[in-house]
Structure 1
Amino acid sequence: MASFSNFLSQVADSVISSGSGLNTGCKLVLSCAGDSITFPVAPPTFEVSNTYNNRTVNVNNLGDINMLGKRGLTTIKFSSFFPAQAYDDIVNDVPDSPYTYVDKINSFAQKSQPCQLVISNTKINLNVTIDSFDYSEKDGTSDVYFSISLREYRYVLPNSNKLNNTTGLGSRVAEEQKEKVINWYPGMDLMDVAAQSVGQFFPIDEQDAKQLSVFKTLVKTKNLKVGSILHVTKQSIQIDDKTKINF
Structure 2
Amino acid sequence: MEFWLMQDTEKLQLPVPPPNYSIKRALDNTVIKVEGIGEVSFIGKSKLAEIPPIKTFFPNQIYTFCEYSDFPTPKECTDLIEKWRLSGKPIRYLVTDAINIECTIESFEHGEQDGTGDVYFSLELKEYRRIILEVVSPSISVTTKATKATTATKATVAQRPTKTVAKKYTVKAGDTLSAIAKKQYGDSSKYTLIASKNKLKNPNLIKVGQVLIL
Sort the TM-score into its range (normalised by shorter chain).
Answer: 0.5 to 0.7
CA drift of 1:90 comes to 2.9
Tell me the residue number matched to 2:118.
Answer: 143
Tell me the residue number matched to 1:60.
Answer: 35
Tell me the residue number matched to 2:44.
Answer: 69
Matches within 5 A, 1:178-217: none
Tell me the TM-score normalised to structure 2 length.
0.57
Q: Runs (4+) of structure 1 moved beyond 4 Å?
A: 159-162
* SS of corresponding position for 1:147: strand
Pairing partner for 2:85 from 86, 95, 109: 109
Residue deviations 1:88-121 (CA, integer Å, cap 9, x gap): 243673743212111100110111111112222x
Matches within 5 A, 1:16-165: 26-77=1-52, 78-90=54-66, 93=69, 95-120=71-96, 122-159=97-134, 161=136
Partners of 2:7 and 2:92 in 1: CA distance: 6
Is the radius of gyration larger for structure 1 or structure 2?
A: 2
Moved more, 55-64 or 109-118: 55-64
Letter in 1 for 2:15: P
CA contact (8 A) 1:84 1:94 kept: no
Partners of 2:17 and 2:36 in 1: CA distance: 54
Residue deviations 1:8-66 (CA, integer Å, cap 9, x gap): xxxxxxxxxxxxxxxxxx22221113212111111111121112111211122222222
Partners of 1:118 and 1:94 in 2: CA distance: 20
Count of aligned residue pairs for this structure pair: 136
Residue segments in structure 2 that go unaligned for 5+ positions in a row: 138-214
1:116–1:86 distance in 2 versus 1, CA, 3 Å: same
Partners of 2:108 and 2:130 in 1: CA distance: 23
Partners of 2:132 and 2:68 in 1: CA distance: 46
CA contact (8 A) 2:15 2:68 kept: no
Q: How big is the alpha-carbon RMSD for the aligned residues of Structure 1 and Structure 2?
A: 2.1
Moved more, 152-161 or 64-73: 152-161
Partners of 1:55 and 1:90 in 2: CA distance: 46
Partners of 2:136 and 2:55 in 1: CA distance: 44
Counting aligned pairs with the same residue, the percent is 29
* SS of corresponding position for 1:48: coil
Residue deviations 1:169-227 (CA, integer Å, cap 9, x gap): xxxxxxxxxxxxxxxxxxxxxxxxxxxxxxxxxxxxxxxxxxxxxxxxxxxxxxxxxxx
* SS of corresponding position for 1:46: coil
1:152–1:87 distance in 2 versus 1, CA, 3 Å: same
Tell me the residue number matched to 1:214.
Answer: none
* SS of corresponding position for 1:47: coil
Letter in 1 for 2:107: S
